[in-house]
């Protein structure tokens, strides 16, 4: 007797067990699980009344709010597909995603109504515009729609290989690609989270990571599965984060390394507010060992480093702690934690292969590409068979991440393949150079890119953001790097800038730096 794998099955269990438990906190609003699921059911019924059928796409454009979270249940339980959009994209990007996905309904938070109104005449396929907040003429008011709907709806017959979400990549170098994520993908990822990170019903999860980012790394469903509490945070501002951590007795959250850096260097008055013992999941870019050591040492938080991509639903490895790691000093332990680690159980077969297609030796030095196959890998890119064929070759998803394997089996990303700098025939890992710069006492953030060089082909150029009040210069930074790196890896130039260009999820946009945007540099 088989039942389809789906995060909705975990939600079914939560309905039975945690009805009177606090499920969602969103500012002054608080809902028990009974109230939360009742709202989800009402929205399911309202969508069906609008004619939404299995397979239809329902797009969202919203920060981390209770209404956005409700969509991750209301939409798939009627067999429709949620399309969570990155709210930091441009109106032109919104138009592309809505048209490419074929969305019939778009649900928008108040801050983004103007942006969508500006492109309405470019959206022939969108039949209904729903305002989560800030309703106006021409928009369906979300709360009014819920109030007018019953809790009866027709549940869909879920197919585990059917789409649950269509997640669009950032589109930094081309049009965004739609990643088709299935019910099975998300269920397996959810179980991987639970096996490796031991969430319980006592956990209170703060929504620092955007829900739109790969379905909040699947935590939109994982927290509910154990009856934990979702604490919504619409903006990842350090002061709001620290205030929420203290006020809501938060026990865990997810954040990109750039967010962790901002928290580690927040004013002392804010950091004193933070409870100790929090678990913090980080991914999206290799975190520096120096950042991990500072957060664990000064704030008393446990950093859990995981790795993945939107195309693999999205987490496939974890830097799993071992008893022998406890015998190491904090700096050595942080170095191990900064590695991408080992496979999630049941999720995927993760390997590092060389140009010859064979696995690289576990010597911590030979670089290859991370490739993945298994339950986590997407169904493909929506309406883009060519891109799918380029990404999935020979039965493996090719990540484009260059990595080594250490003797203990732990993977460590050295770079994106496209970001490896080849200077005079030598490979230079930009990640290694960045990690070195982050050990400098004046440096808060760093990014290293390759630029053309007449003699060497390429040479590294470093961009650094200084800590508040810190002072340094190019000679000092070069001397520091020479003391910690092989001579050929030392950047030929250093630029001190106010901010690094980033995506909405905190990834540094190196292509912007390569383009030499002069307005980034201080005059």
Pairing of the two strands 204-206 and 252-255: parallel
pLDDT score at 425: 73
pTM assigned to the model:
0.89
- For residue 5, how many C-alpha atoms fall within 13 Å in the half-sphere facing its CB? 14
Domain 32-190 - what CATH class?
Answer: alpha beta
The domain locations on the chain are 32-190, 236-416, 420-520
Using a pLDDT cut of 70, give the percent of the chain over it.
97
**pLDDT band (50, 70, 90) for residue 522:** very low
Cβ-based burial of 317 (10 A; exposed 0-12, middle 13-18, buried ≥19): buried
Q: 464's torsion region: left (phi>0), alpha (psi -120 to 50) or beta? A: beta
Q: Is 32 exposed, middle or buried (0-12, 13-18, 19+ CB in 10 A)?
A: middle
Name the band, by pLDDT with cuts 50, 70 and 90, for residue 519: very low
Lookup result for tokens 């699947």: 218
How far is the C-alpha of 420 from the C-alpha of 214, rounded, in Å?
A: 26
Q: What DSSP state is assigned to residue 89?
A: S
**Would strands 411-416 and 396-405 be described as parallel, antiparallel, or unpaired?**
antiparallel
Q: How confident is the model at residue 516 (pLDDT cuts 50, 70, 90)?
A: low
Check if the beta carbon of residue 99 is closer than 8 Å to that of residue 125: yes
Q: Is the pLDDT at 505 greater than 80, yes or no? A: no
Looking at per-residue confidence, does 522 or 458 come out higher? 458
What gap in Å lies between CA 182 and CA 184, rounded to an integer?
A: 5
Instruction: Output b/e per residue, 82-100; b: 16+ Cβ within 10 A.
Output: bbbbbbebeeebbbbbbeb
Q: What is the pLDDT of residue 523?
A: 33
Q: Sorting pLDDT into bands at 50, 70 and 90, what band is 174?
A: low
Q: Number of H helices and number of E strands within the chain?
A: 18, 27
pLDDT band at residue 518 using 50, 70 and 90 as cut-offs: very low
Contacts with 414 (C-beta within 8 Å, 6 or more apart), sequence order:
367, 402, 403, 404, 420, 429, 431, 432
SS (H, E, C) 105-140: EEEECHHHHHHHHCCHHHCCCCCEEEECCCCCCCCE
Sort strands 426-428 and 421-423 into parallel, antiparallel or unpaired.
antiparallel
What would you report as the CA-atom Rg of the chain, rounded to the nearest whole angstrom?
23
The mean pLDDT value for 48-61 works out to 98
In CATH terms, the fold of domain 236-416 is Rossmann fold (3.40.50)
Instruction: State the pLDDT at residue 402.
Output: 94
Q: Which two tokens stand for residue 127?
A: 């039949």
pLDDT for res 293: 93
pLDDT for 520 beyond 50? no
**What is the tens place of the pLDDT at every residue in 445-499?**
999 999 888 888 889 999 999 999 999 999 999 999 999 998 889 999 999 999 9
Mean pLDDT, range 248-259, rounded to an integer? 94
Among residues 517, 400, 402, which one has the least CA distance to residue 461?
517
User: Does the bond joining 314 to the residue before it have cis omega, within 30 degrees of 0?
Assistant: yes
Quick one: average pLDDT of 23-45? 98
Q: 435 is written with which tokens?
A: 């990690």
- Average pLDDT estimate for 320-349: 94
Give the pLDDT of residue 521. 37
Are the beta carbons of 270 and 247 closer than 8 angstroms? no
Let me know the angle formed at the C-alpha of 174 by 425 and 121, rounded to the nearest 5 degrees.
Answer: 170
Q: What is the mean pLDDT of the chain?
A: 94
At 269-320, the pLDDT tens digits run 999 999 999 999 999 888 889 899 999 999 999 999 999 999 999 999 999 9
Residues 82-90, mean pLDDT to the nearest whole number? 92
Domains 32-190 and 236-416 share a fold: yes
Helix or strand (DSSP H, E) at 372: strand 368-373
The average pLDDT across 93-112 equals: 97
Question: What average pLDDT does this structure show over 415-439?
Answer: 88
* CATH class of the domain at 420-520: alpha beta
CA distance 232 to 230: 6
Q: What's the token pair of residue 118?
A: 């500006």
Could you tell me whether strands 493-496 and 140-141 are parallel, antiparallel, or unpaired per DSSP bridges? unpaired
Strands 229-231 and 22-26, by their bridges, are parallel
Percent of the chain with pLDDT strictly greater than 90: 84
Q: How confident is the model over 138-144, as a mean pLDDT?
A: 98
């Amino acid at each position: 007797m088989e039942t389809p794998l789906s995060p909705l099955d975990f939600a079914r269990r939560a309905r039975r067990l945690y009805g009177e438990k606090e499920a969602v906190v969103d500012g002054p609003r608080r809902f028990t699980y009974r109230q939360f699921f009742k709202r989800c059911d009402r929205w399911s019924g309202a969508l069906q009344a609008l004619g939404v059928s299995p397979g239809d796409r329902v797009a969202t454009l919203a920060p981390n709010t209770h209404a956005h979270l409700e969509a991750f249940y209301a939409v798939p339980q009627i067999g429709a597909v949620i399309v969570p959009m990155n709210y930091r994209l441009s109106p032109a990007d919104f138009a592309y995603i809505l048209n490419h996905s074929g969305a019939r309904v778009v649900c928008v938070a108040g801050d983004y109504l103007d942006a969508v109104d500006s492109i309405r005449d470019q959206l022939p396929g969108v039949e209904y515009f729903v305002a989560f907040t800030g309703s106006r003429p021409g928009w369906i008011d979300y709360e009014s729609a819920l109030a007018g709907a019953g809790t009866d709806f027709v549940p869909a017959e879920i197919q585990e290989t059917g789409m649950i979400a269509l997640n669009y990549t950032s589109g930094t170098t081309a049009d965004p690609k739609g990643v088709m994520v299935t019910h099975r993908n998300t269920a397996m990822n959810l179980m991987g989270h639970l096996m490796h990170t031991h969430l319980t019903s006592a956990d209170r999860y703060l929504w620092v990571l955007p829900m739109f980012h790969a379905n909040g790394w699947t935590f939109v469903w994982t927290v509910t599965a154990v009856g934990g509490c979702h604490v919504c945070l619409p903006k990842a501002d350090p002061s709001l984060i620290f205030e929420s951590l203290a006020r809501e007795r938060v026990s865990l959250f997810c954040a990109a390394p750039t967010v962790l850096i901002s928290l580690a260097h927040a004013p002392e008055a804010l950091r004193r507010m933070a409870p100790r013992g929090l678990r913090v999941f980080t991914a999206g870019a290799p975190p520096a060992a120096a950042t991990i050591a500072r957060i664990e040492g000064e704030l008393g938080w446990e950093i859990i480093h995981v790795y993945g991509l939107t195309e693999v639903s999205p987490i496939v490895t974890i830097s799993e702690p071992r008893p022998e790691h406890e015998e190491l000093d904090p700096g050595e332990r942080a170095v191990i934690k900064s590695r991408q680690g080992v496979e999630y159980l049941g999720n995927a077969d993760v390997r590092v292969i060389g140009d010859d297609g064979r696995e690289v030796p576990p010597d911590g030095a030979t670089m290859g590409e991370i490739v993945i196959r298994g339950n986590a890998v997407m169904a493909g890119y929506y309406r883009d068979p060519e891109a799918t064929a380029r990404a999935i070759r020979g039965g493996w998803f090719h990540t484009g991440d260059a990595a080594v394997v250490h003797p203990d089996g732990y993977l460590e990303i050295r770079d994106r393949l496209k970001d490896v700098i080849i200077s005079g025939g030598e490979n230079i890992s930009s990640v290694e150079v960045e990690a070195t710069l982050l050990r400098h006492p004046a440096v808060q953030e760093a990014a290293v890119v390759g630029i053309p060089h007449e003699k060497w082909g390429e040479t590294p150029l470093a961009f650094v953001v200084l800590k508040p009040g810190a002072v340094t210069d190019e000679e000092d930074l070069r001397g520091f790097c020479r003391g910690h790196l092989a001579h050929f890896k030392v950047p030929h130039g250093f630029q001190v800038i106010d901010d690094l260009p980033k995506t909405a999820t905190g990834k540094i946009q190196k292509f912007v730096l390569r383009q030499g945007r002069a307005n980034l540099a201080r005059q």
